[in-house]
Structures are given as structure tokens and as C-alpha cells.
Amino acid sequence: MYDFNFGSQEDIRRSPEEFLIFVKRLLPRWANGIPDSECVAIFRALEPYRDSGSSLVETGSGASSLALFLHCALYGGTMYSWDTNASKGAYLRSVASDAIGRVLGVDVHKIWRFVAFDSTNPHVGLPVMRELNITPVFGFFDSWHTLEHLTLEISQFTEICASRATIAIDDAYYTKRYENYSYINMLRAKLGLGSVQEPVDNVCQPYYVEIENLLKSTFSRVEKIEDSYKQDFQSDLFFEYFESDRYFMNQLGMEQKNALAHRFDAWRVS
């Protein structure tokens, strides 16, 4: 049951970011994959699309889904999420419905489509938006963290998105070209196995550099958003709250403390 009380509809409309964080903090760690400050930065990046009935896209569901869902519930529009983990979709839908849909009087099924499959599949992945006649204006990409996968997702998105759109990515400081050795080593550690060495040719430039170059080769105008995450992340409680888990992730290279300012990056393109 996630029907905890924050206040009335009017209270939520007055303080939507506080409400978003209130709901985010109800999530367990496995579904709460981004810092609070990043969740708010996503919500703020959606400001230009308020009351426009626009469609939003994300790959890799979790707290980010709540930011997109709250935007749609308050200001209209629809959202599409891809995540290979179907249970995460079912769980997040129940949180969105209980904690947000109930008090705002919106039906989660009318706003949110969750596709429990590979985001890049040609038949049910991002390209399917064309068949559905949907032209998304916003994409947040946070699924399988390799440059190869991210590049494919963003290329597929740019083929179907609106002529003016926003593209945002998580873990933008990552430098993993074709395999995510940090993730693999995290799974190996759980199996009691030692780490495997990352091959030198797996290292690319940070995603925020690689993706900006990709966008510049696709769009005539690419404008970096001055997102609020970069101002707020240092005082974000999230990092302290999950300190022990993050210490482990740091050791395996899943998180790099000194690169955290580029954990989130976003661009407006046209």
C-alpha cells in the first residue's frame, strides 16, 4: 500500500517537487536508482512541455518513471517506458497509482505504457513509436549502460522524435563502449568470484562527450541544458542514505565519486 498522505491536490500543485521526492522516498533501493536531485532535474527539464499533451519516453524504469508520471498526471501527456524487468513495471505502476493517481484522480493506465522488453528491438522497442503514430518530445535514457546500446537507443529516438526535443541521460560520465564490466563484476562478486579486467578497447570518451557529438552530427542545434542536478547533487541526502551500497559500487567502478557532476546531462535539440 502506497497511499500515504502528503496533502490535498492543491498542496501537490503548489509543491510538486516536494511531493515527487515524498513519493520517491517510499521506493526501495532496487527501484530507486537515481539521486533525488536528478529526479527533480528530470521533472524540471519537462517544464517546457506542460499542458502540451506531449509524449515522453524513458528506457530503464524506476524513480525516473515517477518524475515523468507526475508531470503527465499534473500537466497532461502520456509516457512510454522500456524495461526488461516486467516486475519493476508492475511494482512501479502500483506505487504511481496508489501514491499519485489516487490523490490526483488520474488513471495510471491512461497515462503510462510499460514495455517489458529490450528498448532497441526493431518491432517492440523505440522504433515502434512510428507505428503507433507517436512523436515523443522527451527521452530519458537509463537502461543498459554501454555506449553501443545508448547510441542505438538515441539514434532510434532521434528518428522518431519531434523536431524540437529534449534528450537526457543518466550515468553520463561512464566510459564503457561495448560491455559494462562494472556491472558484470558486481554480479561476479555476488557469486563469490573475482573481478575480470576491462579490456583497453572497451574504454570510450565519457558518454556526455560521445552523445553530444552524436547529437551535433544529427541536429543543426544542440543546446546543453543548465540542469539543476549540477547545483544540487552535493547536498543530496540520497548519497548519504545509501552510503554503504555506494561504497561497494565505487570500488567496482559503478559509481565514480569525482565524476558525479556528470551523472546527469541533458540537451535540447532541433
Ligand X SMILES: C[S@@+](CC[C@H](N)C(=O)[O-])C[C@H]1O[C@@H](n2cnc3c(N)ncnc32)[C@H](O)[C@@H]1O
111's grid cell: 497515462
C-alpha distance from residue 100 to each of 2, 13, 58 (Å):
9, 12, 19
C-alpha distance from residue 4 to each of 61, 90, 103, 108 (Å):
22, 19, 10, 17
- Nearest approach, Cβ of 126 to ligand X (angstroms)? 10
Query: Of 82-90, 172-180, 206-214, 240-248, which segment contacts ligand X by CB under 6 A?
Result: 82-90
- Nearest approach, Cβ of 197 to ligand X (angstroms)? 23
Residues 204 and 176 sit within 8 Å (Cβ to Cβ): yes
Contact residue for ligand X among 16, 35, 62, 77 (CB under 6 A): 62
Query: Of 54-62, 94-102, 203-211, 240-248, which segment contacts ligand X by CB under 6 A?
Result: 54-62
- Give yes or no for residue 142 binding ligand X (CB under 6 A): yes
Q: CA-CA distance, 35 to 185, in Å (whole number)? A: 23
Q: CA-CA distance, 118 to 82, in Å (whole number)? A: 7
Query: Of 32-40, 45-53, 129-137, 236-244, which segment contacts ligand X by CB under 6 A?
Result: 32-40
Footprint (CB under 6 A) of ligand X, residues 105-134: 118-119
Residue whose CB is nearest to ligand X in the complex, by number: 62
Dihedrals φ, ψ of 205, to 5°? -70, 160
DSSP 8-state code for residue 203? B
Nearer to ligand X, 43 or 82 (CB): 82
- Give yes or no for residue 81 binding ligand X (CB under 6 A): no
- Give yes or no for residue 151 binding ligand X (CB under 6 A): no
CB-neighbour burial class of residue 96 (10 A; exposed 0-12, middle 13-18, buried 19+) = buried
Contacting positions for ligand X (CB under 6 A): 32-34, 59-64, 82-85, 88, 118-119, 142-144
